[in-house]
């Protein structure tokens, strides 16, 4: 044992204090083992998918199901390649409507939410109508909009926008109200202007909420674009994937119907991935939703 001859008066803290305190105040560590986490996340659903598609193809061949009832995955991919010219043109149309609608929804949803956050009276006056717009099924209003709008493309855009805009509005409104109470007090204490409070406090606090809304709206604007085109039912050169599905159904070109369906699903997945990526890139430095922690 070492002898304890430290004089009592000696400030016992002073020597080890700096080290101790530094340990106690050490920065929190981050962790980033991507491979061990992501691999099963990709592999597991991939195996399920391969099994499903393989079973499908096997069943179609074994029971000799005619292609106009249920085409096998192989036939669908074949059609996708052979009909690519028509399908690609339609995909572009659907994509254009979808992204225009999403952009307008993000812009108007966020702007309206900011307006609401500036005046309780405006919020109270208009929010119920936004709700009404949201709860009314789009298929019910689509015929009206198609009649009113001169251009079918504009009509599709309006329908897709109506569906996509509400999640962004309601999420951003919630987000703008969500800033920490003490931080609000601090801004008040420093006599921040309305604009400063919005710019430095409310908008950053609302960002995760806005992005969550954007993720939902990405899928919804695609659904809106497709549903509205079904209702419109107009063909021609400038028609999107939904019309290709209708058309293929009438003409009993079932493999093409499936190919168009596949493209719509893939588009939805890609939109979701893009929105997730945007959200991750914008929030990764600070928000819990974008941070992987070890435990």
Partner 1 sequence: MSVVPLRVPAAETAQEPLRLKPAVRLTKVSKRFSNGTLAVEDFSFAFPQHGFISLLGPSGCGKSTILRMIAGLNRPSSGRIDWPNAVHDAAGQPERNLAFVFQEATLMPWATAIANVMLPLRLAGVSKDEARERSQVALAQVGIDDFANAYPRELSGGMKMRVSIARAIVERPRVLLMDEPFAALDEITRFKLNKDLLRLWQESNFTVVFVTHSVFESVFLSQHVLLMAARPGRVMARVPVDAPYPRDELFRTSAVYNERCRMVLELLGQASGHD
Contacts of residue 18, Cβ cutoff 8 Å, sequence gap at least 6: none
Stretch that binds partner 1, among 49-57, 141-149, 221-229, 283-291 (CB under 8 A): 283-291
Binding mask 174-213 for partner 1 (x = CB under 8 A): ------x-xx-xxxxxxxx---x---xx--xx-x------
Q: What are phi and psi of 108, to 5 degrees?
A: -70, -40
Whole-angstrom distance, CA of residue 263 vs CA of residue 241: 8
Whole-angstrom distance, CA of residue 88 vs CA of residue 83: 8
Among 202, 213, 220, which Cα is nearest to 115's?
Answer: 202
Whole-angstrom distance, CA of residue 171 vs CA of residue 217: 11
Task: Single out the residue of 2, 9, 32, 36 in contact with partner 1 (rule: CB under 8 A).
Answer: 9
Task: Single out the residue of 2, 4, 6, 27 in contact with partner 1 (rule: CB under 8 A).
Answer: 27
Task: Single out the residue of 30, 41, 120, 237 in contact with partner 1 (rule: CB under 8 A).
Answer: 30
Nearer of residues 12 and 151 to partner 1, judged by Cβ: 12
Kindly state the smallest distance separating residue 285's Cβ from partner 1, in Å.
Answer: 6
Kindly state the smallest distance separating residue 202's Cβ from partner 1, in Å.
Answer: 11
Nearer of residues 13 and 148 to partner 1, judged by Cβ: 13
Stretch that binds partner 1, among 61-69, 124-132, 168-176, 284-292 (CB under 8 A): 284-292
CB 228 within 8 A of CB 159: yes
Whole-angstrom distance, CA of residue 146 vs CA of residue 231: 9
Q: Does 278 bind partner 1 (CB under 8 A)?
A: no
> Residues interacting with partner 1, by CB under 8 A?
8-9, 11-14, 17, 20-21, 24-28, 30, 180, 182-183, 185-192, 196, 200-201, 204-205, 207, 285-287, 291
């Amino acid at each position: 044992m070492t002898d304890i001859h430290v004089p009592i008066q000696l400030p016992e803290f002073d020597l080890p204090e700096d080290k101790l305190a530094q340990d106690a105040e050490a920065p929190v560590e981050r962790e980033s083992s991507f491979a061990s986490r992501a691999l099963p996340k990709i592999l597991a659903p991939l195996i399920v998918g391969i099994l499903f598609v393989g079973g499908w193809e096997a069943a179609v061949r074994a029971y000799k199901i005619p292609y106009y009832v249920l085409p096998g995955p192989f036939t669908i991919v074949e059609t996708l390649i052979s009909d690519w010219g028509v399908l690609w043109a339609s995909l572009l149309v659907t994509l254009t409507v979808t992204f225009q609608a999403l952009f307008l929804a993000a812009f108007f949803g966020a702007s309206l939410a900011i307006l609401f956050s500036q005046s309780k009276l405006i919020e109270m006056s208009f929010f119920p109508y936004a709700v009404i717009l949201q709860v009314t099924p789009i298929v019910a209003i689509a015929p009206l909009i198609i009649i009113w709008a001169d251009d079918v493309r504009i009509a599709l855009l309006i329908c897709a926008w109506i569906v996509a805009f509400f999640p962004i509005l309601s999420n951003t409104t919630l987000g703008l109200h969500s800033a920490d109470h003490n931080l609000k007090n601090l801004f008040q204490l420093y006599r921040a202007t309305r604009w400063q409070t919005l710019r430095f406090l409310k908008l950053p606090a609302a960002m995760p909420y806005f992005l969550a809304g954007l993720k939902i709206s990405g899928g919804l604007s695609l659904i809106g674009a497709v549903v509205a085109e079904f209702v419109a039912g107009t063909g021609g050169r400038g028609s999107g994937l939904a019309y290709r599905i209708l058309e293929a159904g009438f003409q009993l070109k079932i493999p093409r119907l499936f190919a168009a369906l596949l493209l719509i699903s893939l588009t939805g997945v890609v939109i979701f991935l893009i929105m997730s990526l945007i959200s991750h890139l914008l929030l990764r430095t600070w928000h819990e939703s974008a941070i992987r922690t070890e435990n």
